[in-house]
Amino acid sequence: MAAHGKIDLGVPLMDEDHARIDELLDAARCMPDEDLPALCAAVTMEVREHFKREEDFLRDRSFPGLFCHVAQHKVLLADLTRAGAGRGAALRRQMESIIPQLIQSHVTTMDGMAAAFLKGELQASEFDILRLPLPESVG
**Which residue type does 88 have?**
G
Contacts of 61 by beta carbon, 8 Å cutoff, 6+ apart: 117, 118
Burial of 11 (0-12, 13-18, 19+ CB in 10 A): buried
pLDDT value at residue 3? 41
pLDDT value at residue 10? 94
How do residues 76-120 score in pLDDT, each as one tens digit? Answer: 999 988 888 888 888 999 999 999 999 999 999 999 999 999 999
Burial of 85 (0-12, 13-18, 19+ CB in 10 A): exposed
Name the fold adopted by 12-127: Four Helix Bundle (Hemerythrin (Met), subunit A) (1.20.120)
pTM listed for this prediction: 0.85
pLDDT above 60 (res 129)? yes
How do residues 19-68 score in pLDDT, each as one tens digit? Answer: 999 999 999 999 999 999 999 999 999 999 999 999 999 999 999 989 88
